[in-house]
Structure 1
């Protein structure tokens, strides 16, 4: 288990003074990056070993959006390694240790020399020591079904600012773009918490945000979004200029209600 302490910055909030979903997901990614660095498996070390960790799926439970100035604890814990895949819990809590976010994620080990996934070796995971399933979330659901009926969104160019150190579009950017495309198509925010009395954790409303990554965008690609709106969920599919599926993002409110 690993945690970092952060504070919500002005540069991370929306016009409502709440942390953007893009910033929330980036916090989770930053936490795992710091964890890997601090145990001696930084991006630079992995590159020397011709390896990288690539994200294939997010399952995020969002209970509230942190507000400007708030102090946060962001944590992560690898809890399973299997074949080429690794699984990590993530969480964000406030000073009272109330959860804003619980998440699970699936990653795969990529062999940079061979240009394909590579089996996880003991050398790659030994520095992380004990595996701990901190959150005991349901099994991660990777596949997201896309409805037959959908709307076309406006094409979006992949610019340099979208890229990460793997020269791929930042994984959090897909979720941020899904939010924007949903708003453009519906005129309503994809994430909107209602005001009211505080509820016990088991009764609190929350959003389930799932992402399934299929093919990475790179500089110069074009993003062609499709938005499908159903009674209990909204799904965005992202295609590239070659009509190849790159990602599905699903947003669902109170999925267990």
Structure 2
């Protein structure tokens, strides 16, 4: 396990004074980055070897989004490294131990010169000691519209041109930026997001145009409001799929 502590900043909160969902993702991404840096397998190491860990998918369960000024503990547990893949849990807790959010993620180690996956080597395995898989409901990585969804409605949103501020050090749109694009196209204001699933399919680069295709529906069992957003290229290829399930409002 690896963790760091922080305090929720004004720049990270929404209009209701709680941590933004995309800021939660940034905390999780920062946590795994800090672990890599501290273990000697950080950005410089990866750059020299022309390697990058590319995120395939997220599943994030949100119990409560912390408010401005709350002190939090952010952690990550790599629990499996095999073949080309790395599996990681993440969590955010309060100082008192209240679990605010827990997540599962799948990563692929990529040779950036050859643009193909490579097997995780011994050096990487030593850098990320494996821990016990966290207790949570583990859902499939692939996201599909549910067959039993009720009231399914489709709409399109205005295209998004990829700008410099969308990019990360790998030269493509940052993982959290895709989620931000989907979040800012939401129409449902009743509750906070209880579950977020993200499937990354292709990389978008500077100047690309992204076309959001949005489906809103109700869960068959709970009637919770849900939204699935496909972020597509003009030719229909999909860059990313985001599924958001609403829960109760934050206190």
TM-score by length of 2: 0.89
Aligned to 1:197: none
Distance 1:49 1:179 in 2: 35
Aligned to 1:143: 142
Aligned to 2:53: 53
2:221 paired with 1:221: no
Aligned to 2:128: 128
Secondary structure at 1:58 match in 2: strand
Aligned to 1:203: none
Aligned to 1:199: none
2:166 paired with 1:162: yes
- Given that 1:104 and 1:140 are in contact with CA atoms closer than 8 Å, whether structure 2 keeps it comes out as no
Residue in structure 1 matching 2:238, options 245, 248, 253: 245
Distance 1:82 1:149 in 2: 40
- Given that 1:54 and 1:108 are in contact with CA atoms closer than 8 Å, whether structure 2 keeps it comes out as yes
Aligned to 1:113: 113
Residue in structure 1 matching 2:186, options 172, 182, 186: 182
Distance 2:49 2:153 in 1: 45
CA shift, 1:48, in A, is 0.6
**Runs of at least 5 residues in structure 1 that lack an aligned partner in the other structure:** 194-205
Q: Which has the higher strand share?
A: 2
Secondary structure at 1:27 match in 2: helix
Distance 2:204 2:145 in 1: 20
Aligned to 1:196: none
TM-score by length of 1: 0.87
How many residue pairs end up in the alignment? Answer: 236
2:72 paired with 1:68: no
Deviations along 1:37-77, one digit per CA (max 9) or x if unpaired, are: 00111011111111110000000001111111110000001
2:156 paired with 1:152: yes
Distance 1:59 1:82 in 2: 20
**Runs of at least 5 residues in structure 2 that lack an aligned partner in the other structure:** 147-151, 220-225
Secondary structure at 1:150 match in 2: strand
Aligned to 2:4: 4
- Given that 1:59 and 1:141 are in contact with CA atoms closer than 8 Å, whether structure 2 keeps it comes out as no
Secondary structure at 2:177 match in 1: helix
Aligned residues: CA RMSD: 1.6
Distance 2:21 2:127 in 1: 31
Deviations along 1:165-193, one digit per CA (max 9) or x if unpaired, are: 1111110111121111122xxxx23x724
Secondary structure at 1:208 match in 2: strand
Which aligned segments of 4 or more residues in structure 1 are displaced greater than 4 angstroms?
Answer: none
